[in-house]
Amino acid sequence: MQFPRLSSRFIKKAIALGLYGAATINAISSERKEQEVKRYVEKNLDRLIQEQEEELGIQYPEQHPVIHYHLPADKKWALGLYNPKTNEIFLQDDHYELPDWDVETVYDTINHELAHYYLDTLSEKKINTDWPEYDNLTVIEMVGIKLISEGTATYIERRMNSKEDTFTDEKWPKTLGGFFSSWELIPKDDIVYNGGFHLVKPIIDRYGERGIEYLIFNPPKASEMYSLLIYQQRILQELEE
C-alpha cells in the first residue's frame, strides 16, 4: 500500500475512527425482538462482572459502568464500544437486527466492553488518567497502544468464552503498512484483535492483573513494533525482576 505518502494527520484520524472496539460487522436481518439485549444485560451484568473477577483474579471498581443500548450516530457499524472519557458502554440493540446478535454474541461483546471499562478504571485509579488516550502521539505509538488495548480486552473476552489463540508469530507485520487495511486505512481487525491477543497472552497468562497493569503503562516501543518476540521477552524479563 502507499502508506508513507499519506499525511500523518489523515492516518491519525483513520486510526481514531477505529478506536472504540467493534467486535465484528455483519449483514442486517430481521427477526430479533426489541430490547432483547437490554433485558439480557440488565439481568446478568453483576454475574458477568463477578465471573470475570473470579476467572482472571481482577477487581472491578464498585461503581459499575453506565450502559446504553444504542450506538452513537457515527458508530452504527459496531456491536459495542466503550468511551474512556465518559466511562460509558454502548451496545447495539434495536437499530441493527443481526442474524447472529444472539446471547453468545451479546455475552462476548459485553465481556469485551467490560474489559475496556476495567482497563480504563485501572489507569484512573493508578495515575488518574483515562486509558487508552491517543492525543499527541505518533502513528506508531497509537498502533502500539491500540494493540495492547484490544489485545487485552480480547484476552479477557476469550478467557470467558475459552476461544483459542489461532494467530501465529509469522503473521505479525514487518512494516507499518502491514498493520493497516489498504482499503480503509484503519488498523486490520485480524492484527489488532487476534494479533493483539497473541501479543499479550504469554504475559497475562503468567502475571495476571500485574501483567495487565504493566502492559498498559509499557506499550511496545517504535523499535519493538515489528518483532512481537522482542517486546514479549522485554516485558517478561522486566516483570521477573
CB of 101 to Zn ion, least distance (A): 17
97 within 8 A of 31, measured Cβ to Cβ:
yes
Distances (CA, A) of 73 to 16, 78, 87, 232, 241: 16, 11, 18, 38, 47
For residues 108 and 150, which CB has a smaller minimum distance to Zn ion in the complex?
Answer: 150
For residues 5-64, which are near Zn ion according to CB under 5 A? 21
Question: Is residue 148 near Zn ion by the rule CB under 5 A?
Answer: no
Candidate segments 120-128, 145-153, 160-168, 223-231, binder of Zn ion by CB under 5 A: 145-153
Candidate segments 48-56, 149-157, 199-207, 232-240, binder of Zn ion by CB under 5 A: 149-157
CB of 10 to Zn ion, least distance (A): 23
Question: Is residue 153 near Zn ion by the rule CB under 5 A?
Answer: yes
What string marks each residue from 157 to 196 as x (binds Zn ion by CB under 5 A) or -?
----------------------------------------
Distance CA 51, CA 74 (A): 32
Strands (E), 3-75: 66-68
Task: State the distance between the two ends of the chain, measured CA to CA, in whole angstroms.
Answer: 41
For residues 49 and 153, which CB has a smaller minimum distance to Zn ion in the complex?
Answer: 153
Name the residue with the smallest CB distance to Zn ion: 21
CB of 193 to Zn ion, least distance (A): 8
Instruction: Give the per-residue SS3 of 178-216.
Output: HHECCCCCCECHHHHHHHHHHHHHHHHHHHHHHHHHHHH
CB of 159 to Zn ion, least distance (A): 15
For residues 21 and 220, which CB has a smaller minimum distance to Zn ion in the complex?
Answer: 21
- Any idea which residue has 470467558 for its cell? 160
Q: Identify which of 157, 221, 231 has the alpha carbon closest to the alpha carbon of residue 194.
A: 157
Distance CA 144, CA 142 (A): 5
Candidate segments 5-13, 66-74, 150-158, 181-189, binder of Zn ion by CB under 5 A: 150-158
* Per-residue cell: 168: 501465529
In the complex, the residues that contact Zn ion under the rule CB under 5 A are 21, 150, 153
